Amino acid sequence: MGRQFFRFVLFLCAAFILACGSSGKVALQATPVPVPGPRAESLAPPGEKFSVPVSEISWIPAAPGSGLAGDFVRALRDQKSVALLLPAEMSDGLMEDRIYQMIRSAAPETKVVARAKGVLDKLLEERGEIPYRVTLQPGGAYVLVRPYNLPKEHPLNTDWLAKKTALKGAKALLTIRPIRGDDQKLRELRRRQQGGCDEMLASLQDALDQAPEYFESVVDVSLATLSESFARHLDLALPFWMDELAETERSQMPGSLGNRCVEAYRVFLKGYEPCLEGPCQIGPRIYATGRGFVGMVDTSQLIPEGCSRAGLRDYRAEIVDLGGRAAEEMLAALNDGWPCEFLRYGGLERLQNNLEQFCTPRHRRLREGDLEGVRQEVQRFLSRLKVADLQGEWQKRQGLERAPRVGPIHVLARVQVAGFDPVAEADQLEKKMRRLEHCIGGGERLLQAALIDVGTSEVHFMGIFFEEELLCDGFAPGFP
């Protein structure tokens, strides 16, 4: 009796599973594939190489800053000797050494005398301020309640001059102290960026803008061939998949993941119906970007997550496979000279992208000799790219690529390079550029620097700088 009851329970469970279609899995047959079409006829090779500009244009990566460094250096050089007057947070030996090295780089003839810390610290403690003849005081507020300051004249600080023996003969005080700038001041300083690569980047962009006209013939002919081949494959596959989805839908419970995936796949596949009539926006085509590749737009965002586990066919992969078959039928037609020009264009495009990134304004310093060296390397790269007989061929490949102004693309084939690779060379140049940067990653710390005459309390110079403008690995104050 127990055994019969157990068999009855098993029978009910099996019937329930079959009725509900909980797995949603159906037997999948191979997608029908048409008889391969004739190979596309070879395209005429390009008549001339893709144009590459080689005119020497000076360029300097931009950086934010006050632009006062030159005035500061000149004011330092006008002094025979200076004594440092630093706040407590900058009075450690390391910071004093950085300032000393900065002065040595900016004004080698200016003597830095020893600082009598006890006397000067006591002097500042008594007065509560640096002995400037001119200071700023609150002057009122604007309509929007933002306060502003006005200069105030003070009598000469003759009482502290009696103690100037502590300065050991220095003719001026050099004060450097960190200050807290408000948001407006920071924005103002950043807007005063120096340098820029606009002329160089414009020259490269003018060359890249030739691409649509230069590659027009190969793109148009290949698009027609790809579209015709892709349509032949879709003509058999699309009705087969739609029937398969209809059959699968009957085995899915309403509201289940499988049911939602069936509907999503149906919408996904209907998006390819226009490709049966001719070229479509999401069908396979050639993209000149990178080293050049054949690809088709990724529309997988239409498919809910988890559909790969619902027991259904992966129609996204099937569509990409059809595009790959179409591409394979026309690759050989493109191998006469055109891969070389896609590589030439790709190298120029990558150089322009990398140079644009390197030239983006950021807090850093560069040595003039290093910068001149990398400028010469860029010119050598362009000269070689202009005349090089590059080697490459189209080969079937898979992957994802991001095309400018298009988005993610399923790669079906790409140009495989042999020998000199312009794209890789442009990336190596970019790495060299990055290694030239010093004192990067800062920019929030502001320093105020001032030179005060010991005998009169006159202010020879006063300015606000980002830290790297003044203190950076022994650089003289300035740019780059």
pTM confidence score: 0.80
Residue 115's SS3 state is: coil
Q: Residue 150's pLDDT is what?
A: 66
Residue 289 exposed, middle or buried by CB count within 10 Å (0-12, 13-18, 19+): buried
Over residues 316-349, the pLDDT tens digits come to 999 999 999 999 888 888 888 899 999 999 999 9
Per-residue pLDDT tens digits for 374-403 = 999 999 999 999 999 999 999 999 988 888
Q: Report the C-alpha dihedral over residues 96, 102, 104, 106, rounded to 10 degrees.
A: -150
Q: Which residues pair with 174 in a beta bridge?
A: 84, 451
| Residue 10 dihedral angles phi and psi, to the nearest 5° | -60, -40
Instruction: Specify the DSSP element, H or E, that contains 359.
Output: helix 338-359
Cα–Cα distance measured from residue 466 to residue 137, given in angstroms and rounded to the nearest whole number: 23
Reported as type and span, the H/E element at residue 127 is helix 117-127
Q: Is residue 129 packed enough to be buried (19+ CB in 10 Å), middle (13-18) or exposed (0-12)?
A: exposed
CA-based nearest residue to 171, from 81, 73, 76: 81
So what's the pLDDT on residue 89? 76
The pLDDT of residue 45 is 85
Residue 115: predicted pLDDT: 60
Q: What are phi and psi of 413, to 5 degrees?
A: -160, 155
Would you say how long the chain is, in residues?
480
* Positions in the chain whose pLDDT score sits under 70: 1-28, 114-167, 441-444
Q: Give the separation between CA 342 and CA 381, rounded to whole angstroms.
A: 17
Structure confidence at residue 19 (pLDDT): 38
Nearest to 342 by CA among 379, 393, 306: 393
288: left (phi over 0), alpha (psi -120 to 50) or beta: alpha
User: How many Cβ atoms are within 10 Å of 62's Cβ, its own excluded?
Assistant: 19
pLDDT at residue 426, as a whole number: 97
Contact 354, 427 (CB under 8 A): yes
Phi, psi (rounded to 5 degrees) for 192: -85, 45
pLDDT of residue 443: 61
**What single letter denotes the amino acid at residue 445?**
R
Helix (H) or strand (E) holding 360: none
